[in-house]
A and B are shown apart, each in its own frame.
Chain A
Amino acid sequence: MAAWALRRAGHPVLILEKGRNLLPGLGTHKRLGSLFGNDEIKSGRAFENQDEVLEPRTSRTQDEAAQGVERSFVGDVNDLPTVVGGGTIHWDAKTPRFWRQDFKGLSTHGPVPEANVADWPLTYDDLAPFYDEVEKRLGVQGDVTKMPKTTLAQAPRKHQFPVPPNPPMYAGKLLAEGAAKLGYTAYPFPMAVNSVAGHNGHARCNSCGFCSGFGCPINARGGAAVSFLHDALLAGAKLRPRSFVYRIDTTRDGKRARGVSYLDANGKRHTARADMVIVAGSAIETARLLLMSRTAAHPHGLANRSGQLGRNLMFHVFTLGIGFFADDLHAWRGPNTTFTIDDFVGPYKGPEARAAGLPYLKGGICETGGTLLLVQEAQLYGAAPNSWGAAHKDLMRASPFRRHLAGMSMVGEDMPQKANRVDLDPKIRDVYGFPVPRITRSAHKFELAASAYYGPKLAAICQAAPGALSGQTVPVGTVAESGGPGADLAAGQAATAHVMGTARMGNDARKSVVDRFGRAHEIDNLFLADGSVFVSSGGFNPTNTIMALSLRMARHIAGKRHPAPTHGPRRNGDRD
């Protein structure tokens, strides 16, 4: 995103990407291809995802940390794709906008006990034009005429969406009817999925169903690579895949970034010098890189005088609703879900909130009408001890969790806590020999109380849908948190790919890492362009907001830097 905007503004740009490229033709005038297929085996074999064998992460709870436990898990902790195109290579492409209230949590709703609530240093209106531009470029589908008034009041739109919605998925239609009976509104989910052949030069989505968690075989889904990077490369930006940046190099006085040091595909060390460094490694890896880049001038990690670097790590806490139906719902046909419900975003200030000792509760949007694919279904039934054999096959034949299921998942807002953090594991190293990120995290009672409050409402919608045999809720975040039976299984479902916080933005350099444009308070040519800068998590898929913030940052840089510098980034050859 930033590379595209800056290259278009005339700046020389070098992109160092840790992963490889799986889109043949990217950045060339040949046809843009894809090595992805409708293949459940490949998606489970670290094809595009970070390989947890080579680059593990470690984790522990807040209680374990207090007891001096260094780590209780080594492996995949909320891993994202490590590939050219990043997380958007297999994202579900849902693009809700954050609401006005999300940017002003402290001043609108007040503090939450034991949470680090703050206002963002910008408003919805500051970001709105960048949302517009990002959505146009991504080719976002939706229908503004069907959006609830509350949503449009909180996230106003001046224009209809660039393309109309996909055909609505049958299971979603049933749940939408159930929601309507209970007074809720399900509407077409805004998403970066192309519904018109040839729009922005892309194929039309044909609802193959292998969407969330799968690379698109036909590039009908917008994203960082196909919507921005491709054109940035055509315009002259340089890309070096399999380049692992292990340090941001700074001047002796610590006030300027000089460039970066990185390993190439063969493990050789290089440096690249530049007059500006923009980091977009996602919230966990970005914090890790800044921590690894510490110097005498920045003894606790780059730009960490505030002590906030690595802290306030936020995921989203999902709560599931599950409806079982006698009929075949074929809810795998389509882009995961085509409906969303905003009625549980909150805040809710009723007795359930007060009983939990909280001023209010907030949930999030509800992805409505999805199910499992075949191997996912088989593995779910296979998770119980001794669940193999004829009984497993009977379940596969009856298929309650695939063919007869319509699911909902609420993207629950996650409170920022200082104790939820990324730091460097003191012992475990990755394949490159560098300390891996260690995630310390426990849910705040805010998320668990919201899940307990909103979960039964999801179950009620499922139950109210025409033809439903039953409606249930599964508070996967709460089950995972319990550490009890089923925690491991729930952890997989609860482990979201929405990773935010760790380098929050703010006007006060004593309380934040970067300013309102993503520039490090202490290093004036270092910028962060990912979810690390989020102050709150909202109850919304974050990528649209990440992209809008990045575009705003890039336009700010471009506006301040006319004319463009004449020298480009240089590769200085081997070092060490």
Chain B
Amino acid sequence: MSGELSRRSFLRAGGALGLLALLPPARVEAFLAAPPKAGQAGRFLNAHELDTLRAVVARLVPGPPEDPDQGALDAGAAEAIDLLLGAFAVDPPMIHAGGPYSGRHGGGRDDFTHFVTLDRHAELGWRIRLEGSRGRKEREFAGPVRGLQQIYREGLAHLDERAPVTGFAALPAPAQDAILSDQSDPAVQELVGVAFSNTLEAMYGPPEYGANKGLAGWTYTAWDGDRQPAGYTNAQVSDPSPGAAPRMSAAALRGLDRFLPALHGAPAEHGRAWVARKGLTGR
């Protein structure tokens, strides 16, 4: 493992890819405030790849006019995924936001923007997860790992292969949907699996990770997001909150069947990372 994680080697890697080198936190914040525009390269993806990813996330979580509320494109999900893929271009990498407060509900400061430094052990895990094992012995102790960078790069290229005349991004939405929903194409489904999971995180997670811009994902869902240090009052915990959200009808409930995969149908090809979350179950 010696030399694997040296600062110099990842500076070199950043330079070779034409990406940003080490940035102090202030520059990270500035970078977040001015994400790459259409036609500009991201931190890991090139300009065309990033445009294609934008087209993908716009279909996965659509916004106006198809849906009344802002979608993943407006929320900056593609740019946030690019930030994750190129996480090691900044120090500390934007993988684990800091804590405990964001300043949105008291506390007076945004600790989330001070990302937690990975130690040597954690850094290796994330390098393998993002970059893959690349045939290197010190990364293949449990077998080869296909990294997220490779999955996105090859998956986005494959979408263009499916749309050879115009490229995927220029297709009309129904044609894009037809490709993305093609369950007979494992290369498409590998990309959709990770991209959908990452898009949902970006859309509905804390904005410090680069997406959920204007709290788009929290506003239309009437979600408070992080609540510390204010928390909730006793009444907010124990009493009903009439009128806070639309009531749900029995008919809407019946429409849920296709979304109960534990009971019906096969699960989508997601990474297992989120599947292992405990949700309802106790610890």
Contacts and interface: CB of A to CB of B under 8 A. Distances in A.
Interface of A: 20, 22, 33-47, 51-54, 56, 74-76, 79, 87, 90-92, 94, 166-170, 173, 205-210, 212-213, 215, 217-218, 242, 265-267, 318, 320, 324-328, 330, 333-334, 336-337, 367, 370-372, 374-376, 378-390, 392-393, 395-400, 403-404, 407, 409, 411, 428-431, 433, 436, 469-470, 474, 476, 479, 485-486, 488-498, 541
Interface string B251-280: 011001011011111111010111111111
Given A37-B111, A431-B141, A372 B221 contact: no
A260 B241 CA distance: 56
B240 interface: yes
B69 interface: yes
B283 A41 contact: no
Contact of B69 (A324, A388, A397): A397
Given A39-B97, A318-B281, A431 B262 contact: no
22 contacts: A38-B228, A40-B206, A44-B201, A44-B273, A52-B273, A94-B282, A167-B234, A207-B236, A209-B227, A217-B101, A218-B100, A265-B119, A266-B120, A267-B2, A384-B261, A396-B204, A429-B142, A476-B281, A486-B262, A486-B264, A489-B275, A495-B278
A476 B272 CA distance: 16
A76 B272 contact: yes
Nearest 4 Cβ contacts at the A-B interface: A206-B231, A217-B100, A38-B226, A37-B99
A379 B100 contact: no
A388 B142 contact: no
A383 B141 contact: no
- Label chain A's interface by main secondary structure: loop
Contacts of B125: 46, 51, 53-54, 431
B10 interface: no
Contacts, number: 344
A362 to B, nearest CB: 17
Contacts of B102: 37-38
A34 B100 contact: yes
A404 B275 contact: no
Contacts of B281: 318, 320, 409, 476, 493-494, 496
B181 interface: yes
B121 A170 contact: no
B258 A384 contact: yes
A336 B66 CA distance: 36
Contact of A375 (B2, B201, B250): B201
A389 B141 contact: no
Contact of B62 (A33, A324, A386, A389): A389
A367 B282 contact: yes
B7 to A, nearest CB: 15
A210 B280 contact: no
Interface stretch (B18-26, B44-52, B160-168, B192-200): B192-200
A167 B238 contact: yes
A123 B238 CA distance: 38
